[in-house]
């Protein structure tokens, strides 16, 4: 059976992916920082009609089109979206592979008749892509190179066995050559593939190397070019069907232990760790209950994971009995093998397990930790992040002592640049015993922050005679005194 190849090219894949979540009826472009400037990564049809192009400087694009809307590019999300389209293309044939960052290639030999022929299959592809709002150009030929050229230069379909004649009129750029090679060929008057075929092969090789003839032979079918299909995503799931129904928590935990050992063995083989586990318990009345376990860290240690299921399993209503258990890792992350050390990791493991136990009750996102941030502004010098999705950083570096309790500035009465000898704060009277300072902190001028609209701040550490140790600051540009923190 002769191979028939379909090439799908999505010329606006990144911009159309970004527009799916929030449709934009205006010139729109994705921006990527390249070198020392922001440049257009991808744009929609309206932006192209305004004369904008890929690779154009963003400032130049705004000058041409003041109404241009933009957002940062996300190449990783684009790759993920292309893989989703590859899974969708599996409805036409089982042999689907990626073709660069914006295309797919399909070997439809033996499957076109299921859709009423090749023309009907291509029509169905166009219709479904149009419904999804995705621009696609399709090429069909006997070789991968021919299909790619037909898709990128709007020729669509070459009849079976007639590929050389169909692609002869295509420009030499349809052979997937480097841009500098294409320009060099065009300067010599080689505009079309037919012109290249007519040249002596030895002359072409001597002047341009082997790459040009290699691509030409692939397009004509003289050299084979394989299609590497995408591997199906790994499935980490195991099940157990019981000869007799069970209903005790201890029995369910025993079955879960056996499933965990099998699942962890699969994870270890692929150097993966489970982040989210789902235990499905099927009852004899065909109803199912699920126990979901979200882990603070990727794990594949059955002995550590098993006790974490106890709370969820204890809340299951077994009904008239459970006859099937299914355990699946629905969230998986890389967990490479690590070198063993004589320094134990037991304390860290216990902390992760504690975070998991607390997270099963209140949610992992609600177990948080403080992390240092690179800012000299007191209220910006830390961030709060979920402990399960961050790692502790340290040690905390501070050039000057900082209060343990930090709160929004609270105004107090005071005159002059030195802390007042007596002042009232929160309906309490204080007398200054010892004052250390000042420490001048300037606002971050590159960030808009209304809290620092008063300008510079001179901070003082004040030990009051009443025993309270406060953090005060004075604003020279708009004279006033404030309390912002308290030392332990």
**CB-based burial label for 430 (10 Å; 0-12, 13-18, 19+):** buried
178 lies in which domain range? 1-233
Regarding whether 392 and 320 lie in a shared domain, the answer is: no
Q: Is residue 395 reached through a cis peptide bond, with omega within 30 degrees of 0 on the bond before it?
A: yes
In a domain, 327, yes or no: yes
pTM over 0.75: no
Pair 142, 212 in one domain: yes
What are 42-86's pLDDT values in tens digits?
A: 999 899 888 899 989 998 998 889 889 999 999 999 999 999 999
d(CA 427, CA 65): 58
374 vs 34, 62, 148, 165, 451, CA distance in Å? Answer: 25, 32, 49, 64, 18
Alpha-carbon gap, residue 273 to 161, rounded angstroms: 50
CA distance 392 to 401: 21
Domain count, the chain: 4
- State yes or no: cis peptide before 103, omega within 30 of 0: no
- 48 and 172 co-located in one domain: yes
Asked if residue 384 is part of any domain, the answer here is yes
Assess whether 12 and 62 both reside in one domain: yes
- Name all contacts of 277-280 with Cβ < 8 Å and 24+ positions apart: 277/305, 277/327, 277/328, 277/329, 277/330, 277/331, 278/327, 278/328, 278/329, 278/330, 279/309, 279/312, 279/313, 279/325, 279/326, 279/327, 280/325, 280/326, 280/327, 280/328
Whether 382 and 394 have beta carbons less than 8 Å apart is answered as: no
Residues 262 and 120 in one domain: no
Whether 256 and 365 share a structural domain: no
Is 205 found in the same domain as 266?
no
What is the edge-to-edge ordering of all strands in the sheet holding 37-43?
Answer: 37-43, 28-34, 69-72
The verdict on residue 341 lying in a domain is no
Q: Looking at the domain assignment, is residue 433 inside a domain?
A: yes
Instruction: Please report the pLDDT score of residue 341 as a whole number.
Output: 60
Q: Give Cβ neighbours of residue 329 (< 8 Å, ≥ 6 apart).
A: 236, 237, 263, 267, 272, 274, 275, 276, 277, 278
* pLDDT tens digits along 191-207: 999 999 999 999 899 99
pLDDT beneath 50, residues of the chain: none
Residue 344 within a domain: no
CATH of the domain at 199: 3.30.70.270
- Cα 79 to chain center, whole Å? 9
Instruction: Judge if 211 and 247 occupy the same domain.
Output: no
Let me know if residue 203 belongs to a domain. Answer: yes
Q: Do 293 and 167 belong to one domain? A: no
pLDDT at 322: 95
In whole angstroms, what is the distance from residue 142 CA to residue 159 CA?
A: 8
* Displacement of CA 449 from its chain's centroid (Å): 29
95 and 217 within one domain: yes
Report the SS3 class of residue 219: helix
Shared-domain flag, residues 187 and 252: no
pLDDT at 273: 94
Judge contact between 193 and 167, C-beta under 8 A: yes
Shared domain for 410 and 355, answered yes or no, is no
- Give a yes or no: residue 67 inside a domain: yes
Residue 340: its pLDDT value, please?
64
């Amino acid at each position: 059976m002769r191979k028939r190849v379909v090439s799908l090219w999505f010329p606006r894949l990144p911009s159309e992916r970004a527009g799916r979540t929030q449709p934009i009826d205006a010139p729109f472009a994705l921006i990527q920082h390249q070198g020392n400037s922001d440049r257009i990564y991808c744009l929609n049809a309206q932006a192209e009609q305004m004369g904008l192009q890929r690779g154009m400087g963003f400032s130049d694009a705004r000058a041409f089109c003041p109404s241009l809307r933009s957002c940062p590019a996300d190449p990783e999300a684009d790759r993920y979206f292309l893989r989703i389209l590859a899974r969708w293309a599996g409805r036409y044939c089982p042999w689907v592979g990626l073709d660069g960052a914006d295309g797919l290639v399909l070997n439809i030999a033996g499957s076109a008749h299921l859709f009423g022929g090749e023309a009907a299959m291509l029509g169905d592809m166009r219709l479904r892509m149009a419904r999804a709002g995705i621009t696609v150009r399709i090429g069909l030929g006997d070789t991968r190179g021919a299909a790619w050229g037909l898709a990128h230069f709007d020729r669509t379909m070459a009849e079976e066995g007639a590929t050389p004649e169909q692609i002869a009129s295509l420009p030499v750029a349809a052979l997937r050559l480097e841009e500098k090679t294409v320009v060099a060929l065009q300067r010599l008057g080689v505009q079309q593939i037919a012109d290249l075929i007519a040249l002596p092969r030895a002359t072409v090789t001597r002047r341009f190397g082997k790459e040009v003839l290699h691509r030409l032979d692939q397009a004509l079918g003289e050299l084979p070019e394989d299609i590497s299909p995408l591997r199906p995503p790994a499935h980490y799931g195991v099940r157990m069907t019981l000869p007799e129904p069970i209903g005790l928590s201890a029995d369910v935990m025993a079955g879960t232990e056996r499933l965990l050992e099998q699942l962890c063995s699969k994870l270890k083989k692929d150097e993966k760790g489970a982040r989210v586990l789902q235990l499905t318990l099927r009852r004899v009345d065909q109803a199912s209950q699920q126990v979901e376990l979200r882990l603070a860290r990727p794990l594949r240690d059955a002995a550590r994971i098993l006790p974490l299921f106890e709370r969820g399993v204890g809340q299951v209503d077994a009904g008239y009995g459970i006859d099937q258990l299914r355990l699946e890792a629905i969230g998986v992350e890389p967990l490479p093998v690590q070198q063993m050390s004589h320094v134990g990791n037991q304390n860290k493991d216990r902390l992760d397990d504690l975070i998991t136990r607390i997270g099963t009750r209140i949610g992992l996102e609600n177990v948080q930790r403080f992390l240092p941030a690179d800012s000299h502004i007191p209220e910006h010098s830390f961030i709060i992040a979920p402990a399960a999705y961050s790692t502790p950083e340290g040690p905390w570096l501070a050039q000057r002592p900082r209060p343990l309790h930090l709160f929004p500035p609270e105004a107090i009465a005071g005159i002059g640049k030195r802390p007042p000898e007596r002042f009232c704060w929160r309906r309490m009277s204080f007398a200054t015993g010892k004052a250390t300072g000042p420490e001048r902190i300037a606002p971050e001028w590159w960030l808009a922050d209304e809290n620092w609209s008063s300008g510079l701040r001179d901070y003082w550490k004040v030990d009051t005679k009443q025993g309270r140790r406060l953090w005060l600051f004075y604003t020279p540009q708009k004279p006033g005194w404030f309390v912002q923190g308290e030392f332990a």
